[in-house]
Structure 1
Amino acid sequence: MFIQGEAGSGKSTFLAILVIDWCSINSKTSGKQLQTDEHYTADAKARLRPSDFFDDLKSLKEYTFVFHVTLRDSVNEINILEMLKKQIIDSIYGDKDKRKNAYRLLHEIMERERCLILLDGLDEWTCNEGHRLPVLAVSHSQCDVLITNRPWKVTEAMIPDAKIDMLLQLERVNEPFEVSRRLFCCTAPCVKHTVSSWKVFLRRPTRKK
């Protein structure tokens, strides 16, 4: 699946929000509230309305795991599994033995569980071996791949129609301020300090010359 849009249209933000929503609807607290008028995050004081979530919650909740990859950090890497190893597992574990165990577990998960793999920024990815797209192993047939890119990339890379199951055009973010509020809520302590600094700066009187 492809989502294409011009720079700044919200492609990366959309993927980030998908991850946040998936985490929210799969948390123990929010999961019990999906049928009510309000959802609750891990923070009992923070309430989220149904409109705060991705609309198609049922489809999103079907995935047991969601993996997010930035393609600019995996230039010349072909295999999606290797991307996940380097960007996710290697950043978590420093011990080689723990990494090997995690690699094995990841492979088993991708073979047996329903997974959504988010690949952000195809236009920032290149491969010297002539591949037009990152490769997903045949044994990982339980995984769906969602790729973001700019419109020119599909044409320039000459991606065949057989490789595209769905192509969507992202025009813009409908409510940019609401999206910003939601993202800021994920880093509440930092944001509170930043907002306070802004207020101090805005209230600072100008010096008379």
Structure 2
Amino acid sequence: MAAPLNQSNNVCLQARDIGRKIRHSADLSVSDTDLVQYIDTLINLLSDQKYLSTDQNAQQAVVKLKNLKANKLAITTEDITNVIDDAIRQSIKSQGDIALQAVSTTRDEALVEIEDKKCKSLQLLKDIKSSLANVQTVTAESLDRIIAEKLSAIHNIKIVAENEKRELKSIGSSERALLQEELQKNRDRKQRSAGLPIIGYFRKRGLRKSIKKDLISFYEECYSYIPVAPLAEDHDALLTDFYVEPPLTSVDVQRKFRSRKQLSSKMPIHSYSDLFIRRDGKMYKHIYVTAKAGVGKTSFAKKVCKTWCQAHSPNKEIKHKFKKADLDAMKKFEFLFMISLRDVETSECDLESMITSSLLNCLKSHSRYSRLDIEDILNEKTCLLLLDGLDEWAHPTSCDKGCRDVHAIPHIPAREQCTVMTTIRPWKFEVVKLGTSQIDRHVEINELNDSASKELISNAVTVLNTQTQSN
């Protein structure tokens, strides 16, 4: 080089010191006077007559430095877009690393909040990028504002990362394995820049948590009351104040030569664990509950639904109203979908359509949910499908699946983790054409015995006196 490098304060050492000062600046700022001095030093270095005068890249840098000094530097949209794209990639990569490091201490309640904050932070960066779509050039005067917005977005992402470390407390081994698997797949496919598996995992968890919360709210509002008497349905009471559990028995059914022979033995069912779970620990798939008119099939269905709500969203004030064994059994069902078949559209005959129109559309955040979300839950989670009143529903003859039998049951796809429990009157149960494989268990609701009848009378008197006094 033409510059005397043997001097203690040569231009190369001056340029090196400038780099150090900028990198180690506490606030990454520089005064106007120092900036002019820095630019002059860099121009002198890049203009070396012996070594850099013919270097095209060096001379282009000199031109840009002179324009920056004169406040005439034009920074293109592409320049800033590249910087922001890099920030987005680095931010998502950092989030993936944090999730992997903290996966052993995750808490379900934090996942939705974390995902929302993360998506908002990343979206802010993307919004900055999209806002430049119609900008051709950016002057040095407006560069500070753009950089400030970008740095603010990155700062928000750092806050989210700290929140993840602080809020993620406990996660089950199965959830931990799932998240680690998603992260590992993401690495194997070398798609860190997209970050889709991680974001998709948290978004799905958040959506399912919201669906469960809305289901519980809907059931609490619509299925928490029962009529005081069958002929006075407009006069109702809280289920937990009035309902008395009737005796349940399991009826063995054997088919031989197209005839159904009911064996004399009937086994009592003492808890929901007996009702839903086999001796080998597996769930029954198809349960049919029969009872005479007025015995309480719908009330029984509502009690099952109410127990599920209590199991997944406990209310301490009514905790004593439920058996621990019943609550433990209902905890095994991550979701419960109860359909009142008397209220289903007459043209519908497949389960997913019924859930979507009669249940999903009634939830408070229904616009967020779709039939595909329900299908994913049914395919991946342990679910109880409670169909109440099959005797009050007839299969449409206009079925698009070709079924013309009005006594046929709704079309329910076979799923490994789903249990279907249907309440039905005995006469309808006899005429419905079911194969042996379609009936895992036949349960009868029996009439109340003397002690249960007295308890029901006592509950009725208490409820009526309370309502009379309140009026």
Tell whether the structures are fold-level matches, with TM greater than 0.5: yes
Q: Displacement of 1:73 after TM fit?
A: 1.7
Contact 2:307–2:326 (8 Å) recurs in 1? no
Matched to 2:442, the amino acid is: L
Contact 1:18–1:54 (8 Å) recurs in 2? no
> Number of paired residues?
172
Contact 2:311–2:328 (8 Å) recurs in 1? no
Q: Which residue matches 1:23? A: 309
Q: Displacement of 1:158 after TM fit?
A: 3.2
Q: Displacement of 1:181 after TM fit?
A: 9.3
Contact 2:310–2:327 (8 Å) recurs in 1? no
Q: Displacement of 1:136 after TM fit?
A: 1.2
Q: Displacement of 1:161 after TM fit?
A: 2.7
Q: Which residue matches 2:355? A: 84
Identity of aligned residues (%): 26
- Structure 1 residue matching 2:352: 3-state secondary structure: helix
For 1:17-63, what per-residue CA distance to the aligned partner results, in whole angstroms no more than 9, with x for missing partners? 11111111112xx3xxxxxxxxxx1xx5x2432x6337433322110
Match of 2:387 among 108, 119, 124: 119
Match of 1:5 among 276, 284, 291: 291
Gaps of 5+ in 2: 1-286, 398-403
Rate the CA distance shift 1:47–1:94 in 2: closer, same or farther, 3 A.
closer
- Structure 2 residue matching 1:104: 3-state secondary structure: helix
Q: Cα RMSD between the aligned structures?
A: 3.1
1:68 corresponds to 2:338:
yes
Q: Which residue matches 2:446? A: 171
Gaps of 5+ in 1: 31-40, 183-190, 202-209
Taking the aligned partners of 1:180 and 1:78, their CA distance within structure 2 comes to 40
Larger mean CA deviation between 170-179 and 156-165 belongs to 170-179
TM-score normalised over the length of structure 1: 0.70
Rate the CA distance shift 1:200–1:18 in 2: closer, same or farther, 3 A.
closer
Taking the aligned partners of 1:172 and 1:54, their CA distance within structure 2 comes to 24
Map 1:1-209; keep pairs closer than 5 Å. 1-27=287-313, 30=314, 41=315, 44=316, 46-49=317-320, 52-53=322-323, 55-74=325-344, 75-92=346-363, 98=367, 101-127=369-395, 128=397, 129-130=404-405, 132-138=408-414, 140-173=415-448, 175=452, 198-199=468-469
Taking the aligned partners of 1:67 and 1:180, their CA distance within structure 2 comes to 31
For 1:139-179, what per-residue CA distance to the aligned partner results, in whole angstroms no more than 9, with x for missing partners? x3321100000101121223333311110111135646867
Rate the CA distance shift 1:173–1:81 in 2: closer, same or farther, 3 A.
farther
Taking the aligned partners of 2:331 and 2:457, their CA distance within structure 1 comes to 24
Taking the aligned partners of 2:337 and 2:454, their CA distance within structure 1 comes to 26
The structure whose Rg is larger is 2
Taking the aligned partners of 1:118 and 1:12, their CA distance within structure 2 comes to 10
Rate the CA distance shift 1:90–1:47 in 2: closer, same or farther, 3 A.
closer
Contact 1:21–1:53 (8 Å) recurs in 2? no
Contact 2:333–2:383 (8 Å) recurs in 1? yes
TM-score normalised over the length of structure 2: 0.33
Q: Displacement of 1:9 after TM fit?
A: 1.1
For 1:95-117, what per-residue CA distance to the aligned partner results, in whole angstroms no more than 9, with x for missing partners? 7xx26x43221111011000000
Rate the CA distance shift 1:132–1:177 in 2: closer, same or farther, 3 A.
farther
Larger mean CA deviation between 84-93 and 2-11 belongs to 84-93
| Structure (1 or 2) with the greater helix fraction | 2
Rate the CA distance shift 1:81–1:177 in 2: closer, same or farther, 3 A.
farther
Greater RCO structure (CA 8 Å; 6+ sep): 1
- Structure 2 residue matching 1:67: 3-state secondary structure: strand
- Structure 2 residue matching 1:111: 3-state secondary structure: helix
